Structure 1
Amino acid sequence: MSSEQMEPGTVRPGGRTARVRSSVLRAAGDALVEHGFDRLDLADVARRADVGKTTVYRRWGTTAGLVTDLLADMAEQSLPRTDTGSLIEDLRANARLVVKTLTDPRQGALFKSVIAAATCDERTAEALHRFYATRIGEWAGCVDQAVERGELPAGTDAAEVIRAVSAPLYYRLLASGDPLDGAAADRAAEAAAAAARAGAYIA
């Protein structure tokens, strides 16, 4: 199977191909922020990226394929998790990173568009699930270390703890409209830590 026939996001190209991918994904993100998934158009993305339409259609094929690769790239570019040696400080760092991302004018709007698209497009939903699985898997390490240090009971489900940190923050973004700030981040981290210490997340 040639690289251009492979699933978007599975190739680690170099040189001009990498530059084209970067330009197209940036353009796709801009278009999503401006217009949303419903109005995402491959020809418009090609124009924004200053590349040929045939290149975009051949490599990504569909808007869902393009968003899939965009999410893969976002996972690749995400900051590594913090390792402070303290569960609560690690969870606070995680929560503050979530808030920083969701309140960023571009990133926040981009996530809203992708989440909205995932509700009606199965391929986008799968890509979004993979993105979050990657991020949760990385941050789950701080919970596993807390178990090893004796901060949390044995058998604590690390992924569930990380989900508990971010869930109320996404609720504020998508449902309630309540402020997303440092206080909300710290509250989410502290609540998840307290529940984990009490054994709420023992598998």
Structure 2
Amino acid sequence: MRQDQRAQAYTLEGFIGSVLVLAAVLFALQSVVIMPTTSGKVSRDVQEQLRVEADDILIISSQEESLSCQIRHWNGSTNENTFAGGFDERIGYGPEPPPNITTCDADGTAFGEMLNQTFGEQGREYNIIVSYRHPSDPTLSPSERMVYRGVPTESAIAATYTVTLYDNQTLTGQGCQPDCPELWETNSSEFPIRDAAPNSPVYNVVEVRIVIW
């Protein structure tokens, strides 16, 4: 009789143990949410959303020449070969967003602020590259890094916007204030983007590219 009771007790303990293990597994599965970026990849839906957000930022920033002003924010008289307030030519502003510039607009340029509010709050990284036409070889597209936060992942996406610079526009960096030269007056040590259309009022055509991951 005692052996039967003992066997039933063992059976009951085994059953209870199995239930506890199963409950623990179910709880763990419900607690771990597998996101699209868990494996380092970004789903197509997320990629498309990031691209749309980047496009919107570029379009909004292009209004009233704000994006052009950001491109021309260069150390025109310091020979530092970087954007005004930047670290160096290798990384531009580095991990910092582009600054708010009031030279072109009293309200300032909100380009960097929008980048931070949109991608910073999502924990996203981004690089910004400015490419332009070579003055003597149209097959070449030299570039300058405005922001550099590291090497993008394989699933990074890019958004681009084209900005036209004109001869009579001026540099906007603090290094040349208050009398910044017009673009056609600059030399290569003052501004790396050179005049690619010397016989027209157009100075150069620039592509701003945001790479997000």
TM-score (norm. length: structure 1): 0.25
- Bigger strand share: 2
Q: Whose radius of gyration is greater, 1 or 2?
A: 2
Q: Of the two structures, which has the highest relative contact order with CA contacts closer than 8 Å and spacing of 6 or more?
A: 2
